[in-house]
Amino acid sequence: MNSKIDTFAKKKRTMKITNDIYEVYESGTVISFGEIPTKFHVAEDFIINFVFKKDLENPTPKVSFTSINNIEGNLILLNFTNNLGEGTGAPIKMGSLNNRSVYLNFRVYTLGEDVGNKTIHYTFYLGEEVING
């Protein structure tokens, strides 16, 4: 066997994906478990909860964020009921990690009529350097 190919095969390969200064930190898909919030443990001290709610009086989709404490917050996704998908038009800044800004981009697809059972496609990005981040 060719020693160069053998050496290459033994090395652990990791892919790095970037968009200019933004580096993909984590990306994937998860299906929510009913109406239970989906927790993203971005780091030991950085937790984002996807919380789905419905407002029958005002059916317009809306995104808001509430802080629980200095390490955890709720991303409130109001009226995300479209089976064709809804989400951010551009990454939104969520905080900082390892002295870099953290951004989130996501799309949510509803798998039925009820408020739970969502498919969530997500990408967390590391962005520009921040001081004391």
**pLDDT tier, 132 (very low <50, low <70, confident <90, very high otherwise):** confident
In a domain, 18, yes or no: no
pLDDT of residue 14: 80
The pair of structure tokens assigned to 27 is 């990306």
The predicted-structure confidence for 36-53, as pLDDT tens digits, reads as follows 899 999 999 999 999 999
In a domain, 13, yes or no: no
Distance from C-alpha of 133 to C-alpha of 105, rounded to nearest angstrom: 20
**Partners of residue 19 on adjacent β-strands:** 22
Q: Enter the pTM of the model.
A: 0.84
The predicted-structure confidence for 79-89, as pLDDT tens digits, reads as follows 998 889 999 99
- Residue 67 predicted with pLDDT over 60: yes
In a domain, 7, yes or no: no
In a domain, 88, yes or no: yes
Mean pLDDT of 102-118: 84
Distance from C-alpha of 61 to C-alpha of 78, rounded to nearest angstrom: 5
Average pLDDT, the chain: 88
Q: How many domains does the chain have?
A: 1
In a domain, 117, yes or no: yes
In a domain, 2, yes or no: no
Which residues form the domain of 117? 30-129
Q: Which among 12, 17, 14 has a CA at the least distance from the CA of 123? A: 17
In a domain, 3, yes or no: no
Q: Provide CB contacts within 8 A for 3, sequence distance 6+.
A: none
70, amino acid identity: N
In a domain, 104, yes or no: yes
